[in-house]
Amino acid sequence: MTIRVQREDFDIAAEIDALKRASNATGCVVTFTGVVRDDGGLSSLALEHYPGMTEREIGKHVAEAKSRWPLIGLTVIHRIGTLRVGDNIVLVAVTSIHRQAAFAAAEFLMDYLKTRAPFWKQEQHGHASKWVNSREQDREAAIRWLKD
């Protein structure tokens, strides 16, 4: 299991390769990459986080994903600092024997990253900056994973 919070970019191909090399039982790799999008005049995006709690919170949900699905390997990388349009923000990569578990776990982890991991985005439009508001859709997406 790899969890990293970093300023630098990540190499998606290298991360997939590392996961594949870790086990011959790997039958599939599912990846999700979040990218900075231009919503009309975005100059940059600043990502702030709560060091310590971030890693703990991601670790907790990675452990839960492992307990819920038969996974082989898992990598979560989230960037912080100043990013520009087209830059990678987050990578979730999951390996498993069969695809269903890997798809479900990747989606579960993204839904929880969005609603529980202590990161905050601030958009810069020219000289004006604005903190991004949380989305109700993200909260609803995370709620559906709650067990009865």
Partner 1 sequence: MTVLYFAWVREKVGIPAEQLELPADVQSVEDLAGYLRKRNESFSNAFSDTRGLRVALNQEHVSWDAPVAANDEVAFFPPVTGG
**Nearest CA among 54, 55, 32 for reference residue 102:** 32
Which of 53, 85 has the CB closer to partner 1?
Answer: 53
Which DSSP string corresponds to 92-127?
EEEEESSHHHHHHHHHHHHHHHHHTS-EEEEEEETT
> What CA dihedral angle connects 86, 35, 118 and 141, to 10 degrees?
150
Which of 25, 53 has the CB closer to partner 1?
Answer: 53
Which of 24, 52 has the CB closer to partner 1?
Answer: 52
Q: Note the residues at the interface with partner 1 (CB under 8 A).
A: 34, 47-50, 52-53, 56-57, 78, 89-90, 110, 113-122, 131-134, 138
In the complex, least distance from residue 143 CB atom to partner 1, rounded to whole angstroms: 14
